[in-house]
């Protein structure tokens, strides 16, 4: 029987990397467009929360698309 942990980790890392790059891009865009407000909005605490949210969303998305995670029809 094949372990489901390896594909789960691979997909989770792939999703998390995309979400993290999206967050970094948004932060850079905000820093360029609103340079005076960026120091107040883009804090270390907020960055940590966004990273945790990205990994949580990635794990949830991966769990929902993993084979065998949902109900299947048939016998």
Q: What confidence score (pLDDT) does residue 40 get? A: 86
Give the DSSP letter string of 9-72. Answer: HHHHHHHHHHHHHHHHHHHHHHHHH-HHHHHHHS-HHHHHHHHHHHHHHHHHHHHHHSTTSS--
DSSP state of 2: -
pLDDT in tens, 10-40: 999 999 999 999 999 999 999 999 989 888 8
**Domains of the chain: which residue ranges?**
4-64
53 contacts 45 by C-beta, under 8 angstroms: no
Average confidence (pLDDT) over 48-52 = 95
Q: What pTM was computed for the model?
A: 0.76
Nearest to 67 by CA among 19, 20, 1, 16: 1
């Amino acid at each position: 029987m094949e372990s489901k942990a390896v594909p789960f980790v691979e997909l989770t890392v792939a999703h998390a990397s995309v979400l993290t790059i999206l967050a970094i891009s948004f932060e850079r865009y905000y820093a360029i467009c609103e340079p005076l407000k960026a120091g107040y909005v883009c804090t270390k605490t907020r960055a940590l929360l966004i990273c945790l949210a990205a990994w949580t969303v990635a794990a949830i998305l991966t769990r929902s698309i993993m084979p065998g995670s949902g109900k299947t029809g048939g016998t």
